[in-house]
A and B are shown apart, each in its own frame.
Chain A
Amino acid sequence: MKTLSAALGAACLVFAASLAGAADKPTDPQIAHIAYSAGVIDVEAAKLALTKTQNPDVKAFAESMQKDHEAVNDAALALVKKLGVTPEDNETSQSLAKAAEAKRAELGKLDGAAFDKAYIDNEVAYHQQVNGALETLLIPSAENGELKSLLETGLKLFQGHQQHAEHVAAGLK
């Protein structure tokens, strides 16, 4: 519970800080962009892991992240096309991308068991952060019903990923 509320707090900070400059709540085109960017970041992390890990559980996890996030992003692209919405880049997407780039550079220097642990720990933290943002900001802010519904499915998916990452992390110790 303690780590969860800490993570939610951290997520609120990251997302609130970057949105404070503009409107209080993100618009649908911004939400679509944030959700899509969050998925791309995790696909990139998975691709890096697949070039590095020798651990079968970490490999299976990374493969699942790559496939699931690609699938949900395909669904998101199909939806914005259908709705005639153009995803709009924004400060939150940019700060997410920037943080992810730094993390990727950090992970890139590690190998073996040290890489596995750092990758999985970051996956737990990252999914916690994204889930916090979905629950407290993105889902409540979404205007379009179909977008909201896709985000809700995304939340269930990412909560599953977080638990999967926690299981893998427990096995690494």
Chain B
Amino acid sequence: MTALLLDRRQLLLGGAALLAIGGPARAEASTVRITVEKLAFVPEEITVRAGDTIEWVNKDPFAHTATVKGGWEVAIPPGKTGTRVAAAGDDIEYYCRFHPNMKGRIVVSA
């Protein structure tokens, strides 16, 4: 059921996804990478589709997190990578629990 919906949506929105993500139209979920460096999420805002994998690559020697207030949290250990499969409800802002001045935003495209 979900796969069916996803397929149809991709057919309809192939062009929109191309514009939003800037890559070729994809038949399957992809990985969107965020670099965590010098206490910042780069890019600060990403656009994904539900099912895409979000990958935070930590280049700092400090432990960070991607934390949603009242929601999920991904640990991003120093020099390592944290991941999450984007859900439909992930259209949100997040921050680092250890350094709340670090902020990022996830936009889920239809």
Interfacial residues, chain A to chain B (CB-CB below 8 A): 64, 67-68, 71-72, 74-75, 153, 156-157, 159-161, 163-164, 167
Q: B98 touches which one: A74, A153, A159, A164 (CB < 8 A)?
A: A164
- Chosen A-B contacts, 18 in total, with CB atoms closer than 8 Å, are A68-B63, A68-B98, A71-B62, A72-B62, A74-B61, A153-B39, A156-B38, A156-B39, A156-B40, A157-B39, A160-B96, A160-B98, A160-B100, A161-B99, A164-B97, A164-B98, A164-B99, A164-B100
Residue of B nearest to A149 (CB): B38
A157→B99 contact, CB < 8 A: yes
Note all chain B residues with C-beta closer than 8 A to A160.
Answer: 39, 96, 98-102
In Å, the complex CA distance between A37 and B34 comes to 33
In Å, the complex CA distance between A68 and B58 comes to 14
Interfacial residues, chain B to chain A (CB-CB below 8 A): 38-40, 61-63, 78, 96-102
Note all chain B residues with C-beta closer than 8 A to A167.
Answer: 100
List the 5 shortest-distance A-B pairs measured between CB atoms, nearest first: A160-B99, A71-B61, A156-B39, A163-B100, A160-B101
Note all chain B residues with C-beta closer than 8 A to A164.
Answer: 97-100
In Å, the complex CA distance between A153 and B99 comes to 12
A67→B63 contact, CB < 8 A: yes
User: 5 more A-B contacts (CB under 8 A) besides A72-B62, A160-B96?
Assistant: A71-B62, A156-B39, A160-B98, A160-B100, A161-B99
Residue of A nearest to B62 (CB): A68
A157→B100 contact, CB < 8 A: no
Residue of B nearest to A167 (CB): B100
Note all chain B residues with C-beta closer than 8 A to A68.
Answer: 62-63, 98
Residue of A nearest to B99 (CB): A160
In Å, the complex CA distance between A79 and B66 comes to 29
Residue of A nearest to B40 (CB): A156
Residue of B nearest to A69 (CB): B62
Q: Closest Cβ of chain A: how far from B65's Cβ, in Å?
A: 10
A163→B61 contact, CB < 8 A: no
Note all chain A residues with C-beta closer than 8 A to B62.
Answer: 67-68, 71-72, 157
Most chain A CB inside 10 Å of its own CB: which residue of B61, B98, B101: B98
Note all chain A residues with C-beta closer than 8 A to B101.
Answer: 156, 159-160, 163
Note all chain A residues with C-beta closer than 8 A to B61.
Answer: 71-72, 74-75
Q: Closest Cβ of chain A: how far from B99's Cβ, in Å?
A: 3
